[in-house]
Amino acid sequence: MQFNEPAGTNLFDSATIVGKDHTRIDGPLKVTGAAPYAYERHDVVEGQLYGYPVGATIGHGTITAMDTEAAKAAPGVRAVVTTLDIDPLELGMNNVARLFGGSEVMHYHQAIAVVVADSFEQARAAANLITVSYEEGEAVDYSLDAAFERMEGTGEPDTQYGDMEAAFSDGAVTIDQMYHTPGESHQMMEPFASIVDWSDGGDLTGWISNQMINWTHGSLATTLGINKERVRIESPYVGGGFGGKLWLRADTVLAALGSRAAGAPVKLALPRPMMMNNATHRSATVQRIRLAANPDGSLRGISHENVSYCLPGGRGENATAQTPLFYASEAMHVKNHLAEMPLPETADMRAPGEAAGLMALEIAMDEMAEALEMDPVAFRLANDTQVTPSNPDMPFSERHFAECLEQGAEAFGWDSSRPAPGSRREGDWLIGQGVAGAFRGALALPSGARAAIENGKLVIETDMTDIGTGSYTILAQTAAETMSLTMDDVEMRLGNSAYPVSSGSGGQFGAVSSSTGVYAACMALREKIAQQLGLEEATFADGQVGSGNERQSFLELDVEAVDSIQWGDFMGEFQKATFGAHFVEVGVNVYTGETRVRRMLAVCDAGRIINPVTARSQVIGGMVMGVGAALSEDMALDTGRGMFANHDLASYEVAVHADIPEQEVIFLDTLDDVASPLKAKGVGELGLCGVAAAVANAVYNATGIRLREYPLTLDLMLDQLPEV
Amino acid sequence: MKAFSYEKPTDAAAAAARAAEVEGAKFVAGGTNLLDLMKLQIEAPVHLIDVNGLGLDEITETDEGGLRIGTLVTNTTLMADDRIRRDYAVLTRAIAAGASGQLRNKATTGGNLLQRTRCPYFYDTAMPCNKRAPGSGCGALSEGAFSRQLGVIGTSESCIATHPSDMAVAMRALDAVVETVTPSGNTRQIPLEEFHLLPGDTPEQENALMDGELITHVVLPAPVGGVQSYHKVRDRASYAFALVSVALIRQPDGTGRVALGGVAPKPWRSAEADAELPNGARAVIAKLLEGANPTEENAFKITLAERTLAAMLKEA
């Protein structure tokens, strides 16, 4: 199916299933422990052995020797494979640090050995017996501030228009500040985990936990140097990914190498303390933002430069991603820099770019509103735009940012004449409110599916994954709606490389892309059914197909169709994005500086919401992640060693239940007929974008202390809080 | 985890004797800390003596009007005990501020006192740590290291780890006494003040227990009354170790006791600082943290302790 023009009126406009609340169809499996997650798939292949990884313990350098004698002799050990045993493996898609092979250590906890044994405990104990000698690499300056100073103003701007010099002169109100965001680790609940059967070194089957079946399928073949046809992977249930599981990771490679060496299937999970430094993470950023505005609040100039770190070939964290698209401005200068550092790999984490960028930009907007003596909601409204700021000929397909702000202000009880910073107090708590805008692109990728009638059911097969997002449910809704069936008539099969290639789950593109792919397959199936029954002008309604008054059920047929959605060029004439507004109230303890969120509201403009229940779950999850980003999450870099020291969940503090108060979500349920036939866009990342800045702005409103460095911990405030 | 043997004795003195007799033996009770450390091979006992069969799980009244807490009384049971809640409220509050419900259900009184530091360099076996591997150096004191959570006083050039317990901080304020049985079957009483050791040059020696000696009880003296409070400050609202915690017992006349957690290798209290209570938080903390030697990253703990105590004095 080609999507070559705006959707126009279609069956989703009179939908009875799509757009309605539906609890997860896979919920009962999950709450009864019956959903087969990768590490627990004891039944898929006989004779599974246990693998345990060994990580490098230097920041970077070279391995000079490894002694595995004791490990090989340890009880229960079947195989030991070290990185010195094989040549460096090819890099898979978007991997920039090799996952295994060779003597070079590119980052701390890079995998350097795998031990396979009869039991998990034996494998782990034996792994501890391996001794490694290193030649450490030269000392490195890990200062991102220094990198920013070095790189600022260099290179061709990514976006540059208007007269920046004029914008910042002649009576303009200006601000000019530096902002810092820390490294953040995905730390999804389910660790990286795989069972791989490559016992004979021939055909390989992997039961893994991964967001992107097709990418990882190809990467695994590339990395191991085998034909993709010989590889099959499954990932039907994923206990969270947040972007960490977009790529092939070490767990799968080590399980494969261990399996080949031991001649038996091997299961392996990355231990929690290895996840932070072995896998990818969101780079820290240093950002400088300069804003210039007219006294009436219209922006004259925006300058945003960012630096993040990465290994050579990496992408870091482009915190300027939203800036060229979010606010109208007469002139603009945007530049993203990358500083190469031998640190663990940086790559996509939920809302890559916008998450870190809005943490800074939306504080800057709050600061400018204050400088202008404007309400921060009104200031943002004054700079809303319906067209691309750098290219007025390119409109947004749909943009309801203003409604997000206005409805949010109303629902939250936002007081535009709210108390001055530091002036509202309840007992020991200073109370403040903050607002931030949310922006996240609305990408769509090609996505396919197979639709078939089998044994009286509509069966949908696609390699799409459900990473906790609700894919099973929304795709079943889409299929049922398209075929005029009920949810009970649909059987969903996801996450298998044997199924048609989908978009996968990532970048907030999964729901829109895969639902359209399922729609395409179902429309193709409708045609096949009509053909088989010899119907012209067939209509589908109430579980039946017919032409005129002749109606019949079609669930007895044996028929199938495969199709995929291809996105047409016309979409390039539009900017597609999602928008939101976050409102937050915090209390800051006047004595200790502890910040506790009291209530939160998100208003989301993300096209048609396919399922409000699962979408809300995504948004409140994003808001929780935003509270963590605001208040506690911080990968603590030991700059002497080039490693993140707080590499477990006791010391890398994500938000816990007690941190999360009342959360409300409002969906505008706007329809975007440029976005997809369902007129839907993604929403899973929007919920995170801007949250931390809303918290920071609320902290400022509560205390009068402007923090531009995350997390907003009490030590940054203690010397500025009122005397006690 | 290394392979280990296991036994479950029923007599405390016999358990202590066995622990002294078997080289590399350790006691295990709730296992909430030890088992984690064994999995990470930070601890590698060759023999575990499970003390859960020893009884020692009751709270009884002493002739002096205090309470004698069996070492196997769980944190949950202890904090919920009516007598503790009524007469030793600081202890209930401190325990409730620690860990999580599940952990408190398993964690025991004696085990809580013996838990190890959460210093990240202690936890990563690839890092130098004088406590874990004597003589290897202190990972947290090297250039560029992460020390925000670590100690500011009572530390040494060998180690700046803190003791992570909340319960022990309250017990220190209550002048608790640890009761033990030695391998030779004698009982011994060790004031909590003397129970935990400062690191000096030997941070691997964390307490006054001799080889094989087993904690059997913790004795609380007769109630001291006053307003008792515990304030634990942390970055997130729950399930985190203290940046700073303060146990306070304040009498109507303004005198009282103050103990700090999160700042030192042991619950931190001094008589001289207690004596400053009538003069306010600044005076107390100035005395209590006199000679503090923080890192750049954790110097805030001194201000934080003062401000936290000030908040509590306002209420008490």
φ, ψ of residue B266 in degrees (nearest 5): -150, 165
A711 → chain B, closest CA residue: B235
For residue B127, the chain A residue with the least C-alpha distance is A57
pLDDT at A512: 97
Please report whether residue A675 resides in a domain: yes
Element (H, E) at A197: strand A193-197
Q: Which of A572, A589, A619 is the last residue of a domain?
A: A572
| Pairwise CB contact (< 8 Å): A715 & B143 | no
CA distance A379 to A369: 6
The pLDDT of residue A461 is 98
Domain count, chain A: 2
Q: What tokens were used for B170? A: 């309250």
Domain boundary among A515, A545, A572: A572
pLDDT for res A171: 84
pLDDT score for A669: 87
How high is the pLDDT of residue B307?
Answer: 98
Q: State residue B110 phi and psi, 5-degree precision.
A: -65, -40
A668 domain residue, yes or no: yes
Are residues A540 and A562 located together in one domain of the fold? yes
What would the mean pLDDT of A496-500 be, rounded to a whole number? 98
Cβ contacts (< 8 Å) between B120 and chain A: which residues? 636, 645-647, 651
**Rounded CA gap, B191 and B213, in Å?**
15
Please answer yes or no on whether A596 and B39 come within 8 Å at the CB atom: no
Whether residues A397 and A421 share a domain: the answer is yes
For residues A436-464, give the mean pLDDT: 98
Residue A83: inside a domain, yes or no? no
Same domain membership, residue A589 and residue A715: yes
Q: Tell me the catalytic residues of A.
A: 685
> Distances in Å between the alpha carbon of B104 and those of B74, B97, B112, B185, B261?
7, 10, 10, 30, 18
Give per-residue pLDDT as tens, A298-309: 999 999 999 999
Are A645 and B234 within 8 A, CB to CB? no
Which has the higher per-residue pLDDT, A93 or B218?
Answer: B218
> What global pTM score does this model have?
0.98
Mutate to test the interface with A, among B296, B307, B312 (most CBs of A within 10 A): B307
Give residue A416's pLDDT band: very low, low, confident or very high (50, 70, 90): confident
Structure tokens at A148: 């920013």
Of A57, A639, A645, nearest to B120 by CB-CB distance is A645
Please tell me the distance from the alpha carbon of residue A108 to that of residue A276, in angstroms, as a whole number. 10
Q: Which of A141, A187, A641 to mutate to test the interface with B (most CBs of B within 10 A)?
A: A641
Task: Kindly tell me the number of DSSP H helices and DSSP E strands found in chain B.
Answer: 13, 11
pLDDT of residue A418: 80
Contact A636 B120 (CB under 8 A): yes
> Is residue B316 pLDDT above 80, yes or no?
no
The reply to whether A430 and A457 lie within a common domain is no
In a domain, A360, yes or no: no
Q: What is the mean pLDDT of residues A584-593?
A: 98
Residues A490, A412, single domain; the answer is no
CATH of the domain at A419: 3.30.365.10
Is A582 found in the same domain as A433?
A: yes
Smallest Cβ–Cβ distance between B145 and the set A142, A638, A718 belongs to A638
- Say if residue A517 is in the same domain as residue A612: no
What's the rounded mean pLDDT across residues B39-60? 97
Do A646 and A680 reside in the same domain of the chain?
A: yes
Report whether the peptide linkage leading into residue B294 is cis, meaning its omega lies within 30 degrees of zero: no
Q: Is A371 exposed, middle or buried (0-12, 13-18, 19+ CB in 10 A)?
A: middle
pLDDT band at A548 (very low <50, low <70, confident <90, very high): confident
Report the alpha-carbon angle B40-A114-B37, nearest 5: 5
pLDDT at A549 over 90: no
Task: Give the confidence band of A368 by pLDDT, cuts at 50, 70, 90.
Answer: very high
Cβ(A437)–Cβ(A472) below 8 Å: no
Cα–Cα nearest to B145, from B261, B40, B43, B298: B298
Report ipTM (2 d.p.): 0.97
pLDDT of residue A236: 98
The residues facing A332 across adjacent strands are A161, A302
Residue A722, CA atoms < 13 Å, CB-side half-sphere: 17
- As a whole number of angstroms, the distance between CA A363 and CA B227 comes to 43
Mean pLDDT over residues A282-286, rounded?
98
Spatial CB neighbours of A22, under 8 Å, sequence gap ≥ 6: A473, A477, A487, A611, A613, A614
Over residues A325-340, the pLDDT tens digits come to: 999 999 999 999 999 9
Contact (CB<8Å) A647/B124: yes
Q: Note the pLDDT of residue A485.
A: 98
Residue span of the structural domain in which A558 resides: 2-35+444-572
Angle at A399 (CA atoms; ends A395, A401), nearest 5 degrees: 135
**pLDDT above 90: residue A515:** yes
CA pair distance B78, B176, nearest whole angstrom: 14
pLDDT of residue A724: 87
A564 and A589 housed in the same domain: no
How much of chain B exceeds pLDDT 70, in percent?
100
Model pLDDT for residues A655-682, shown as the tens digit of each residue: 999 999 999 999 998 999 999 999 999 9
Q: Which one of A518, A546, A572 terminates a domain?
A: A572
